[in-house]
Amino acid sequence: MTNSYLTRTVPVMVGTTLYLSLFLGSGIAQDPAPAPPGTPAPAQSDAGEQPQGFFARTFTISGEVRERWEATHGANFTLTPADSYLASRTRLGLAFKPTSWLRFFAQAQDSRVLFYKKNPTSAVSDPFDLRQGYVEVGVLEGNGVNVRVGREELQLGSGRLIGTGDWTNVTKPFDVAIGTITYGSFSTQLVEGTQVLIDPARMDRGRPGEHFYADYSTFKKLIPGASVEPYLMAKTALNVKSKDGVLGDADIIYMGGRLIGTVPGGFDYNFEGLREAGSYADDTVSAWGYVGGGGWTNARLPWKLHFSSDYMVGSGDSGLKDGRHESLDTLYGLQQPLTSLTGLFNWRNLENLRIGADFRPAKKLTIKASFRDYWLTKVSDGMYNSAGTETVLNTKATSNHIGEGVDTQTIWALNAKTSIGIGVGTVAPGAYLQQSKKTSGFVYPYLSFTRQL
């Protein structure tokens, strides 16, 4: 057994033992046998509340087990191995709330894959690690000020720029300080921190040399039936390379907003717009991204049938050494399943048209289906997957049409804590992929079981 393994495993085992000890002391112990008739009642202790009542009131244990079988085919234009494997994820958390204005939370996570075709990367495997650990002070619910500091999940708005998400087997939390001010229909979040760097060989840590800042506000009554959400974000990074090969620092500003709402007649709509400025080594940042769409629900139709469609576009780079960095930077945003169920695409340098529907043929059964059509914004830039990694580049292609795909998902809630999911994502190569000699297509089926503890 290596020192690295001990360094990673022992703290988690000790923490888990402590969690279970507290749990056993507060929730599992049997009630004492009733005293015989006529026995005097025991005197109340001057110390106040009994330990068992204190533990039950202040400690909360949470957990989750998820098993997901995945099988992929079509690896000649993806970084995912063509394989069939089981992704396993277990979480155990403990919350301690001694007063109404103070809360502590810690969560351990174990993520592994079985039957993987090659050595698993940090995207799918991260055994025994601290996923969350923070302290929260202030008003925990309602109007007032709240501050949270530590390692935690985070999602701002749609999550397209900053989000932890829950889709992948190893989700990336953040080491952050968050201040939230809430007053009636208005709230704003001030955030400073860094995304956690997943390292299967040792304890996870903050991403070195990289920090982000955000101010995300929400106005719920400026427009009837709508939420108006302006935001301002920034990122700093060390040792990035410009298009002419010069090393330097990145200082990028993200200015944008989101609007979501409903109007009479069963219609809903959404829009998000983003502009980026700043510097990337000796290049000037000039990038943009837009998303817009809507949906309709007819109460007369069965199964709560909801039709929806949206269109998204993100800027790409010219490929010239012109001193301009024009490829959209999606920061730490969620791309799967927002951009595709397959994980093959990113908002960066992409045009994506989606048409779909969701419905509930039974109370606990939800079905979603979408058709998507994909193009590159600029052939001079590449195709990027959900992690932001360039997977295909063919500047000589005469077509920017990547291809089409269908995403389907079925979610069956067996009860309040248990659910089964099944789905498949597909991509049929268009002219751009065919000209790039990436003609295999892609099929991604999955079957998942999730149990909340």
Q: What is the pLDDT, as a whole number, of residue 34?
A: 46
3-25+53-452: CATH class? mainly beta
Q: Could you tell me which residues are beta bridge partners of residue 261? A: 226, 269
Q: What is the pLDDT, as a whole number, of residue 38?
A: 47
- State yes or no: cis peptide before 337, omega within 30 of 0: yes
Q: What is the pLDDT, as a whole number, of residue 448?
A: 97
pTM of the model: 0.86
Q: What is the pLDDT, as a whole number, of residue 48?
A: 54
Contacting residues for 138 by C-beta, under 8 A, at least 6 apart: 101, 144, 145, 146, 147
Q: What is the pLDDT, as a whole number, of residue 49?
A: 57
Among 18, 26, 29, smallest CA distance to 60 is for 26
- Torsion angle in degrees (nearest 10) through CA of 274, 280, 282, 288: -20
Residue ranges of the domains in the chain? 3-25+53-452
Among 32, 25, 33, smallest CA distance to 54 is for 25
The amino acid that residue 309 corresponds to is: S
C-beta separation of 194 from 331 below 8 A: no
The per-residue pLDDT string of the chain (453 residues; one tens digit each, 9 = 90 and over) reads: 334 333 343 343 334 333 333 333 333 333 444 444 444 444 444 445 566 788 889 999 999 999 999 998 886 777 667 789 999 999 999 999 999 999 999 999 999 999 988 888 888 999 999 999 999 999 988 899 999 999 999 999 999 999 999 999 999 999 999 999 999 999 999 999 999 999 998 899 988 899 999 999 999 999 999 999 999 999 999 999 999 999 999 999 999 999 999 999 999 999 999 999 999 999 999 999 999 999 999 888 889 999 999 999 999 999 999 999 999 999 999 999 999 999 999 999 999 999 999 999 999 999 999 999 999 999 999 999 999 999 999 999 999 999 999 999 999 999 999 999 999 999 999 999 999 999 988 999 999 999 998
- Distance in angstroms (rounded) separating the CA atoms of residues 181 and 84: 47
